[in-house]
Chain A
Amino acid sequence: ETGVTQSPTHLIKTRGQQVTLRCSSQSGHNTVSWYQQALGQGPQFIFQYYREEENGRGNFPPRFSGLQFPNYSSELNVNALELDDSALYLCASSLLGRPYGYTFGSGTRLTVV
């Protein structure tokens, strides 16, 4: 059973730039969720993808966008980076509608300077 892998592990970007983060889901899972975790806080829901469609979104602006591919891998794109976007970005895979836990990746630490 493969876990969830994210890349890159660390990234430094300049304010105003764009960034793409990648996630490979756990084998057999059909749903990918992305979370933003600021230091000392719980993960905040960004959005969720099921069968390549966004089917849930948290309180994040449109410059946060995503994709899910047929193999259930996913991307998170953030445009026009702001300093407050600095955080740990976590990807989690799960089976929609099943009472199982999420499997999280180790995250991408994004620093915006």
Chain B
Amino acid sequence: QQPVQSPQAVILREGEDAVINCSSSKALYSVHWYRQKHGEAPVFLMILLKGGEQKGHEKISASFNEKKQQSSLYLTASQLSYSGTYFCGTRGSQGNLIFGKGTKLSVKP
């Protein structure tokens, strides 16, 4: 079951904040977050584990709400380098990652 991401796209000015949500209809045990820039490979940002702590580094952090079967990615004081498409991934029944359709983030000067 593919996770649902929202919003589909967001445009920010440098320094503004953004939140990207990822929700699943199935119980979540872990959520991965990746960023993909145009023409490049997806890059791993962080993993959230059931019962684990909120993860983050620098100005990008994420939370995991097991009851709501939802994860949120927080981008604080966005920089131009944050532009790209953000994907969340959840575990499928075969141990594979199932990705959402992505959220395209554009940060303008």
Residue positions of A touching B, CB distance < 8 A: 4, 33, 35, 40-45, 48, 55-58, 90, 92, 96, 99-107
Contact = CB atoms under 8 A, between A and B. Distances in A.
Interface in B62-105: 87, 89, 92, 94-102
Question: What bracket does the count of chain B residues touching chain A fall in?
Answer: 20 to 34
A101 B96 contact: no
Interface of B: 2, 30, 32, 34, 40-47, 49, 87, 89, 92, 94-102
Contacts of A90: 41-42
A101 B32 contact: yes
Nearest to B102: A42
B95 A106 contact: no
B96 A58 contact: yes
Contacts, number: 62
Contact of B95 (A35, A41, A48): A48
Contacts of B47: 99-101
A105 B44 CA distance: 12
B98 A45 contact: yes
A35 B44 CA distance: 15
A41 B98 contact: no
Contact of A56 (B43, B45, B87, B96): B96
